[in-house]
Every structure is written in C-alpha cells, then in structure tokens.
Structure 1
Amino acid sequence: MPVLAEAQRQRVLFQSGFFILFLFAPVFDLLRFDLTQGHLIVFGQPWTLGLDDYLAGRISNDQMTLNILLRLILPILLLAAIFLGIAWRWGRLYCGWLCPHFSVVETINQLVRKASGKPSLWDKKPGPPWHPDGSPAPTDARYWLLALPLALAFALLWAVALLTYLLPPAEVYANLFHLTPTRNQALFIGAATTVLFLEFTFARHLFCRYACAVGMFQSLVWMTNRSAMVVGFPRQRACDCVGCQSFCDHACPMRLKPRTIKRLMFACTQCGQCIAACETVQRDNPEGSLLNWIDGQQALQADGEQGLLAAVSPKPLKFKPIIASPCGKGLG
C-alpha cells in the first residue's frame, strides 16, 4: 500500500466516493430494507425469504429451507468471510479508507484543531504550532463557528440517510421538501440528529475505538494474525526522532501512539496519516520515513520484539512507551 502524500489523496477520494454511495444507495434501490414492504431491496430487486408464500402453502418446507440457506445464511457467511478476511490481512482497512463515519471524524477533527490546536476536546495539550512541513499552524477560535454547524449538518444528513434505508426515499425527501414529515419521521430525524450531533461533537474517535462493533471485529481478527500489515518503527533509527514534536502522534485521528507495540495500536484504522507525517518530517533524510507499513516476516519480527521497541513503559495504560534510543535518551 502506498504511503506517500498521493496515497492520502487517493484515500480521500475513496472516502468521498463511499460517502456518496452511502447517501444515494437507498435512492437508487441499491440496498435498503423497506419497512412498508417488509423485505430487503438489493439492486432494485426484492430480496425475500418467501415467508408469505410459505404461510400461504404455495411453497414446500424444502423450498423454504433452501430459501433460508441461499438467501440468508450463505450471503451472511460470504460477506463476513470477505470482510474479516480483509481485516485479517490488512486490519481496519474499511475504517480508514471507506467508512463514512470516519470521514466525518477526520473532517471535524481538522476544524477543531484549527479552532483549539487540538483535534479533540479530550486532548490535554495542543499539538505543535507548525505543520510537519515547517509551515505555521495558527489557531483561530472562529473555526468553532464552522465546526459546530458542520457537525449538526452531518448529523442531520446522516439521520435522513438512515431513514431512507427504512422508508421509501422518494417519500422521505418529498415530505422534507414540503416540510410535511409524518410524526414518526420527524421523531426519528429529530432523535437521530440529536444523538449524532452529540457523538460528532464529543465522542468521534472514542466511538470508533470503544463502541463500534464493525471496527472491534476487524481489530480482533487483525490481532490474531501476527504477520498482518502494521506500522513499523525501526529501533536503530530512534536518533532521527530527536527534535521532532511527535507529529506522528498528533496526526493520528484515533489519538494512538504509532511508535508503540501492536496491542496498543488495537484501534489503528490503517489510514497512514502517521506515516505521511513522519515522511514529511524526514523528507530530507536519505533513509526516508521512520514509520512504514510492514507485514509478513518483518511484522513477525516486530511482534516478537514488542513492536521494534527496546522497552515499554511499566504503566502501559497511559500509552506512553519508552524507546531506548542509541542517542542516549528516551523518546516518548
């Protein structure tokens, strides 16, 4: 997987495309569950188990069993196998490259960083006052006037989109356009918008790390594969970190420490922003970035050497690993 700045642009394109797909999939009947009809619609076609026909005696027990196997159990197993197979090899690739929620997390993080110097309200200290490329990174509290309305706009957009996965999109959008939603539609949109606004404002990466079942399953599968793709840090080059303001730490949307051991990178989304930041800092270093993707034998070696770190802090819950540096000082 490329780790240059071009890769980050490609990732944004993937995220943008998938976000658009998330919004318009119900509109074009690509995928939605219609409560009014009581069944899935996939690529414009009804996806049913034939329960009504079975209850009416039009299909046999054997046919109903076959329908359950082919239309329910087999698709679920196939999709799960593909999804978890990707996670086993590449980790939370879906989260970092496709997930529409994570794209919202990153967008609001950037605005909050510009407003306060911190990507999250829960960060104790602001990041460096300059970018990895050396350009200044000033803060301006006026960005709050953009961050909060944008969080609300995303919340409303998500609430409406989620409703279209359950009710005919034409009906939902027509009612909104004429400001005549039904009582249930208004309650759903109002409640969902409120919850999502609070989550986008206060929880963002915390939801991804601790509450998202999709991300959790990917991480669990990824952790079982010791040779899976992971961010590697060469211990012998720890000297090159001297003078750096831990840009890789501040670049991580999940607020992780990229130079730590794999088990403390449990929620890594493989977005590669830490690698891009390090690459920018080390742009004049002939040996290149200190952080790089590794897998296979290199990942096995890193796992055996505790993530290429010589030592780990005795209080790992604080997520502050100590790197034994050949420079004669520890790097946090």
Structure 2
Amino acid sequence: MSKVGNPHAQDAFEASALRHQLGASRRIIPIVPAGSAAPDGGRQRARLWAQIGFFVLFVLAPVFDLLRYDLVAGHAWFLGMEWRVGLAEYSAGQIGLGQLWLNIGLKIFLPILGAGALLIGVAWKWGRLYCGWLCPHFSVVETINQLMRRATAKPSIWEKRTLPTREPDGRTWRADPRWWFVTVPLAIGFAFVWAVVLLTYLLPPFEVYGNLIAGTPTRNQFIFIAAGTVVLSAEFLFARHLFCRFACAVGLFQSLAWMGNRDAMVVGFERKRGADCNSCYSACDHVCPMRLKPRNIKRMMFTCTQCAQCVSACETTQQDNPNGPLLSWVSGEAARQNEAGLRAGGKTRD
C-alpha cells in the first residue's frame, strides 16, 4: 500500500522525518557554547594555578630542604645544602671573629636583604602582586571568603550588608546555612596544615610527620600544633582579611613601596564612561576580597593585592559593551592621568 494512499502511513512518515530533522539539529549543537572563553582571557585561572603551585611549594619546601632552619641540628638548609655561619667553628677556635661576622653578613643579612629588595622592587612597580598571586595565606582568605559567602551571603561576619546573590556572568545562587558545615571544618583544617607546616620549618619534617602518622607527637610538638591550630582557626574564621589589611608586615612594606611610585601599576577607571556602570550591580566592589572600592583613588586602595578580580568582573559584565570594560590595569603616564582624573572628579559612586 502506498504512503500517499494511506493517510495514517503519510502522517507516520512525516512524523518520522520531523524526528530525524530534530535529531540532526540536536547533534550539531556544540558541547561548549561559542564564546564561552573567559572574558578576562583566563587571568583568574592563571592566578589560581599560581596560588596552588606556591601553596604546594610552601608545604614541601621543608621536606626537600629548600628552605628551613633546623633547631635540632643548629643550622639552616637552603636549596638542599647545609647553610652554616660557623658558630661551632668559632667556638672551637677554628675561625676568628672577623670570619664569623663575614659569614653572618654573607649568609644571613645578604640573603634577607636581597629577598626584601626583590619583594619591594616588584611592589614598587606592580603593587602587592605577591599577596594577590602567590601568598599562601591570601589563598586561604579567598577560599574561606567564598565559602562564608555561600553560607551567609557575606564574605565575613563583619560585613554590614549582604552581597547580591549573583555572579558577574549572570549566574544566580542563594545563601544556605548548611555551608557552615563546610566552612568551619575547612578553616580548622587549613589552620592545622599551617601549624604543622610551620613546625617543619623548625624541626626535621620527617620526624614531625612520622610522629603525627604514628599518633605519638612529642609534648612540645603537640603544644605547638594545638596552639597554632587554635590561633590560626580564630584568625581564618574571624580576622583573615583584617590581618592582611592591618597586621601583615610583608603586605605593609609592599603597600608603602607601591604608594611611593606614582607610575606604578594600578586599577584604572574610565571615569568619563561612568554612566556605563548603571548597567552593572557594582560587581567590582562585591568581588574584592579585601573589601575595597576599586573605582576609588589610589590612597583609598592602599591594601590592594592586585588580584584583579575587580578587573575580571568588569570585563565579564561589560563583555557585550562595544567600548569594552571600564576597569583595567594601567601604569606610567596612564596611571598618573587616572589618578588625576579621579582626584579632580571627587569620589566615585559606591
């Protein structure tokens, strides 16, 4: 019987053809939608990998004797080599006082001053890059900020107002108190790891880890780890970004160097296009882990860690704007002009 002569067969044939066409159209839909690349060019992903890598280095440096001071042996280790200044040799009369002071200068003060000069030199030109891209403490700060935001819609318990429950890319979420069951144990876990790792910078790492695995730490080891875990847990839960802003000497000296250079890299704001911010929800303010206002003048950004989360947020919210984002890293004359423009125009809106 022909399909044309049988209405039911004709309907079945057409339905089959329609299903085939729909199936074909489904198959050509890409798994990864076009334009799904990060609007910031992968900057935050690169920063995440840098933080992970440096945190791993922070944990493993004592294990491989890359950098630590051994209280038991009475000398330091650096890049796998014993680092002695000659105190034992001086006591035994094998070297004189002049040689001892020379060793102290070359093996203690010179490396410290060299590392400090490198840190300050980087900060002078680019700001607190170490803090935002490498510091193992700041990576914990950001992690707990995100978890606490999921639990309370605030990045810390001291935040006065809740943040918008949306991401710069438009995704929405809702706060759920059950996230506290993740936040608190993870903060304590980070504190425990930090306490143990800090101890391995002072005692032989294999002794410390061996005693922990066997459940037989010495009395002093137990006191150090327990006290460190309690103190760091309190700091991670209640004062983590306050420590970064007001108590960290490494961050303070970087900020002072950065503030002293008017040509240093800053987050620049195109104030003339400020009206474009009306289409945004101040995403740059809400993502800042240091709770700063990125569109403000430099002196109000004293503790900026150059994490560029504000820049990435602006690039995401303005990705359909033909004029591009309003925030970007600028330096040199552009940094001077940016600062002059902001000072002339007064404060930016919150």
User: Is TM (by shorter chain) over 0.5?
Assistant: yes
**Structure 1 counterpart of 2:27:** none
Q: Secondary structure at the match of 1:46?
A: strand
Deviations 1:215-249 (A, max 9, x none): 00100010000000000101100000114211100
**Structure 2 counterpart of 1:159:** 195
Q: Secondary structure at the match of 1:260?
A: coil
**Structure 2 counterpart of 1:23:** 59
**Structure 1 counterpart of 2:175:** 139
**Considering only aligned residues, what root-mean-square deviation do their CA atoms show, in Å?**
1.4
Q: Secondary structure at the match of 2:77?
A: strand
**Structure 2 counterpart of 1:170:** 206
- Mapping of 1:171-210 within 5 angstroms? 171-210=207-246
- Structure 1 residue 267, shift from structure 2 partner: 0.3
Asked if 1:11 is matched to 2:74, the reply is no
TM-score when normalising by structure 1: 0.91
Gaps of 5+ in 1: 313-322, 324-330
Give the one of 285, 288, 293 matched to 2:329: 293
Deviations 1:143-193 (A, max 9, x none): 111010000100001000000000001110111111111110000000000
Amino acid at match of 1:311: G
Amino acid at match of 1:251: V
**Structure 1 counterpart of 2:7:** none
- Mapping of 1:119-130 within 5 angstroms? 119-130=155-166
Deviations 1:103-162 (A, max 9, x none): 001111111111111111111111112211111122111111101000010000100000
User: Using the alignment, how far apart are the partners of 1:137 and 1:290 within structure 2?
Assistant: 26
**Structure 1 counterpart of 2:35:** none
Give the one of 313, 335, 340 matched to 1:277: 313
8 Å Cα contact 2:262-2:336 kept in structure 1: yes
**More displaced, 71-80 or 8-17?**
71-80
8 Å Cα contact 1:88-1:224 kept in structure 2: yes
**More displaced, 88-97 or 131-140?**
131-140
Identical amino acids, percent of aligned pairs: 58
Q: Secondary structure at the match of 1:58?
A: coil
Give the one of 256, 274, 277 matched to 1:241: 277
Amino acid at match of 2:155: P
Q: Secondary structure at the match of 1:40?
A: strand
Q: Secondary structure at the match of 2:345?
A: coil
Aligned residues: 313
Q: Select the structure of larger CA radius of gyration.
A: 2
**Structure 2 counterpart of 1:116:** 152
8 Å Cα contact 1:275-1:291 kept in structure 2: yes
**More displaced, 94-103 or 120-129?**
120-129
Q: Secondary structure at the match of 1:208?
A: helix
Asked if 1:148 is matched to 2:184, the reply is yes
Amino acid at match of 2:326: L
- Mapping of 1:312-327 within 5 angstroms? 312=347, 323=348
Asked if 1:51 is matched to 2:87, the reply is yes
Amino acid at match of 1:259: R
8 Å Cα contact 2:39-2:316 kept in structure 1: no
**Structure 1 counterpart of 2:9:** none
Amino acid at match of 2:86: G
TM-score when normalising by structure 2: 0.87
Q: Secondary structure at the match of 2:211?
A: helix
Asked if 1:311 is matched to 2:346, the reply is yes
User: Using the alignment, how far apart are the partners of 2:238 and 2:99 within structure 1?
Assistant: 50
User: Using the alignment, how far apart are the partners of 2:174 and 2:258 within structure 1?
Assistant: 38
Deviations 1:279-320 (A, max 9, x none): 11101001111100000001112233346x6113xxxxxxxx
Q: Secondary structure at the match of 2:239?
A: helix
User: Using the alignment, how far apart are the partners of 2:165 and 2:233 within structure 1?
Assistant: 29
Q: Secondary structure at the match of 1:170?
A: helix
